Amino acid sequence: MNFESNLPIYIQIMNLIKTKIVSGELKRGDKLPSVRELSKELKVNPNTIQRAYQELEREEFVYTQRGMGTFVTENTDTIQNVKKSMATGLIDQFFSEMKNLGFKNDEIKEMVSHWLAKEE
């Protein structure tokens, strides 16, 4: 776990797992490590792991069964929907903030292209 980030640890853990789910490393129905297990592995308090799992459940990325464990949601649609809605949220926010700074669509487009070109 990267404690250097100023993000709360439970958010970092959520991102860790979201990425694994969305990228397919964790498939639907897969069992996540138990709270205590992950707690030991990441050297983080069990409550913090639990907090992360709870929030992930709230966002419908996972579901839990008492006494059984926590599992990746069976509903792949949910994953796709959440993924999509998070994406449009990010895009909307991005554009609105860019426009707030006084950029026009053309300029934004150009900057995005530039960023992508640099990436390759």
Partner DNA sequence: GTGGTCTAGACCACA
Partner DNA sequence: GTGGTCTAGACCACC
Q: Which residues bind DNA (CB under 7 A)?
A: 8-11, 32, 34-37, 44-48, 50-51, 53-54, 57, 64-70
Comparing CB distances to DNA, the nearer of 55 and 98 is 55
C-alpha to C-alpha distance for 57 and 49, rounded to whole angstroms: 12
Q: Does 109 bind a copy of itself (CB under 8 A)?
A: yes
Q: Which helix (H) or strand (E) holds 69?
A: strand 69-72
Q: By three-state DSSP, how is residue 70 classified?
A: strand
Q: Does 8 bind a copy of itself (CB under 8 A)?
A: yes
Residues 6+ apart with CB under 8 A from 7: 15
Q: Does 43 bind a copy of itself (CB under 8 A)?
A: no
Residues 3, 38: contact at Cβ < 8 Å? no
Q: Which helix (H) or strand (E) holds 63?
A: strand 62-65
Q: How far is the CB of 30 from a copy of itself (least distance, A)?
A: 15
Q: What does the binding site for a copy of itself look like in residue numbers (CB under 8 A)?
A: 3-4, 8-9, 15, 18-19, 22-24, 58, 63, 65-66, 74, 83, 86-88, 90-92, 94-95, 97-98, 100-103, 105, 108-109, 111-112, 115-116, 119
